[in-house]
Structure 1
Amino acid sequence: MRDKRFHRAEPGTVRPGGRTARVRAAVLRTAGDILVEQGFGGFDLADVARRAEVGKTTVYRRWGSVTGLVADLLADMAEQSLPREETGSVLGDLRANAVLVRRTLADPRQGALFRAVIAAATCDERTAQALRRFYEVRVAEWAPCVEQGVARGELPVGTDAEEVVRAVSAPLYHQLLTTGVVPDAPAAERAARAAHAAAVAGVYVG
């Protein structure tokens, strides 16, 4: 079940149906296109409405602001993300997580979207909050893999499952943001192995 905290009180985050759903999909697709092309600095609700062929009033009424629209875009991205993969071992699960993160960052559209949103989050608190909620959803999705590993005796009792999951993706995002180089398959493997070794050693206990 998805973490419903992500959908609280942010304009545009209530999932609509019918025509309203089609309008939301068109606006979110267009918003993503503009972020990829121009970054956050070129983001304007009126431009989104024009390119999505949706009434400007509709966009302003439903999302209220650029940050409200970005929050909904992140909510949609979280919902569309692939579910966790369970391989039967903690290391296998962490590898699967690392592969998924690497594929996302390597994707021309998704990678560019994340770079634009992360850049915006450094100077806009509402965007930063939306980004934090996005990662809360994704980390909560994968944390059971670590919890199951604890139950199987692969990891020490008291291991912080969410911290282990974050430790897998952290070096991959760091590489992309600090060097501009998309992580490759060996980088994903190193990230998974490093997080697993640290967890086995008890680094994330307590």
Structure 2
Amino acid sequence: MTDTAPHGTVRPGGRTARVRAAVLEAAGDALAEHGFAALDLTQIARAGGVGKTTVYRRWGTPGALAADLLADMAEQSLPRARTGDVATDLRENARLVAGSLTDPRQGRLFKALIAASLCNGQAAEALHRFYAVRIDEWAGCVTDAVARGDLPAGTDARRVVAQVSAPLYYALLNTGEPLTEELADRAAAAALAAARAGAL
């Protein structure tokens, strides 16, 4: 899932937190603008106004920096919807994903991180962790629906949530179909229909 908090969010913390925030901001900008190949630690240190030695000591490699960026994005991700209606919750999830992927910065950033994951093991592992965290967060709306009797017992909550976002990523990376609210709503409705039919 890519439902992250607004770009530029400032969180409290000491010097270490400020250094991390500055470096990750610079890394995100570089990734969004130029891709993983542009993730040069010396240039990131300069752009973030941080000492080069600090950056190399803390992160060491572009892959480690990309991994920390994903960890930070997971930390800032918005919590799941809790409307009490699984159809509404899944629709909210789909719209958040579509909104993130069409955001001028976030969309490019995720494309760069996905591309990085194909050639860098650290980035791949971090991307898998990111999506595991987001799927686990949103799976709660499905388990709540099962507990209410709205979905069949034994429904795999994580699979349902993954089914919501899969068509959106397919459109982003393969077909180029516009990521509209209508597409998001259809993805949510299809996942819910499969869950209600016991297919998930």
The two structures have a TM-score, normalised by structure 2, of 0.92
Contact 1:105–1:182 (Cα < 8 Å) also in 2: no
SS at match of 2:199: coil
Aligned to 1:54: 50
Task: Name the amino acid aligned to 1:127.
Answer: A
Task: Name the amino acid aligned to 2:144.
Answer: Q
Task: Name the amino acid aligned to 1:44.
Answer: D
SS at match of 1:84: coil
Q: Aligned equivalents of 1:118 and 1:80: distance in 2?
A: 19
Q: 2:87 aligns with which of 86, 91, 101?
A: 91
Runs of 4+ in structure 1 off by over 2 angstroms are 179-182
Aligned to 2:194: 198
**Match status 1:139 vs 2:117:** no
Contact 2:63–2:121 (Cα < 8 Å) also in 1: no
Task: Name the amino acid aligned to 2:36.
Answer: F
Aligned to 1:4: none
Query: 1:112-127 maps to which residues of 2 (within 5 A)?
Result: 112-127=108-123
Q: Aligned equivalents of 1:22 and 1:42: distance in 2?
A: 22
Unaligned runs of 5+ in 1: 1-14
Aligned to 2:39: 43
Q: Aligned equivalents of 1:122 and 1:68: distance in 2?
A: 15
How big is the shift at 1:161?
0.3
Contact 1:102–1:184 (Cα < 8 Å) also in 2: yes
Q: Aligned equivalents of 1:115 and 1:78: distance in 2?
A: 16
**Match status 1:106 vs 2:106:** no
Q: Aligned equivalents of 2:26 and 2:145: distance in 1?
A: 41
**Match status 1:73 vs 2:69:** yes
| Percent of matched pairs sharing the same residue | 63
Aligned to 2:182: 186
Q: Aligned equivalents of 1:104 and 1:92: distance in 2?
A: 18
